[in-house]
Amino acid sequence: MCGRYTLFTPTADLEARFDADFGDREPSYNCAPGQSLPVITNEDPSEATRMEWGFTPSWAEESFDLINARAETVREKRSFADAFERRRCLVPADGFYEWVDGGRPGDAGRGGSGKTPYRVAFEDDRPFAMAGIYERWKPPTPETTQTGLDAFGGGDGGGGSDAGSAADDDSDVIETFAVVTTEPNDLVADLHHRMAVILDPDAGEEEAWLRGGPDEAAALLDPYPSDDLTAHPVSTRVNSPSVDAPDLIDPVAGD
């Protein structure tokens, strides 16, 4: 899975890399679910839009908070199918974290005491795009019981008009996204059984993900080659979403 990532590349460099306006932002060394984070949508790729990490389909009666969508089922699963067809996005990052059971690569699934976080990134820490999907969700309006005069349209004589305005109000719409995951490459396989889909800009994959048809997009959902990627253990302080500091990405001694 992809449950945390980093995005500390300077804004000017991000804007040059993605040819998009990122506005005012702070670097993050611990992007976590529930946070409002920049994504680049197929509707307006010239401007990064901040959305909440934790996907909820438009038809949901309650928040789903789905942080990942599996590449193998993203086209068919009801929660994701419409977004895959119509609302794909790039999720900018410059690294992501995975946790290893037992503390050492290769120990995943074998038990052990605690987990060791690892950061995976390109050797030069350059930014990249993870494949994402997004949705707009409007929480249901809670039912209320009114006992006063207003409940019967009295009082100011304008109850009907106010109700119509409330129904048309989109101020409470929540925009959410999920990162698409696939089988791991050789490097990540030692850390976890899934990894985020990283799109290759040199092969035109970012453009194809945003603008291509469903078949073209589905063909992109394979593991990124491990040749240029590195992984190293980092401090367990990254376990807490409330901790966000530059030293979180620093290598620490492994077990």
The CATH number for 202's domain is 3.90.1680.10
- Assess contact for 182 and 58: CB atoms under 8 A: no
pLDDT of residue 142: 73
Which residues of the chain, if any, have pLDDT below 50? 106-113, 145, 147-167, 255
Q: Answer positive or negative: Cα dihedral of 193, 194, 198, 200.
A: positive
User: Which residue type does 105 have?
Assistant: P
219's CB contacts (< 8 A; 6+ apart) are: none
Three-state SS for 176?
Answer: strand
Q: Is residue 231 part of a domain?
A: yes
**Helix, strand, coil fractions of the chain, as percent rounded to 5:** 20, 30, 50
The number of domains in the chain is 1
Whether 179 maps to a domain, the answer reads: yes
Q: Say if residues 51 and 176 touch (Cβ distance below 8 Å).
A: yes
In a domain, 255, yes or no: no
Checking DSSP bridges between strand 36-41 and strand 88-93, what pairing results, if any?
antiparallel
The answer to whether 199 and 129 are in contact (CB under 8 A) is yes
- Answer yes or no: is 122 within a domain: yes
Residue 65 confidence (pLDDT)? 96
- Cα separation of 118 and 196, whole Å? 14
Look at residue 174 and tell me if it is in a domain.
yes
- The answer to whether position 254 is within a domain reads no
Residue 101: what pLDDT?
A: 84
Largest CA distance in the chain: 73
Length of the chain: 255
- Give domain status of residue 26, yes or no: yes
Give the pLDDT score at 108.
Answer: 41
Nearest to 22 by CA among 12, 30, 31, 32: 12
Work out whether the CA dihedral 33, 37, 38, 43 comes out positive or negative. Answer: positive
Distance, in Å, from the CA atom of 54 to the CA atom of 56, rounded to the nearest integer, reads 7
User: 70: buried, middle or exposed (CB in 10 Å: 19+, 13-18, 0-12)?
Assistant: middle
What are the residue ranges of helices labelled H in 9-125?
11-18, 81-86
- pTM of the entire predicted model: 0.86
Residue ranges of alpha helices (H) inside the chain are 11-18, 81-86, 159-168, 186-189, 205-211, 214-218
Domain, as residue range, for 220: 5-249
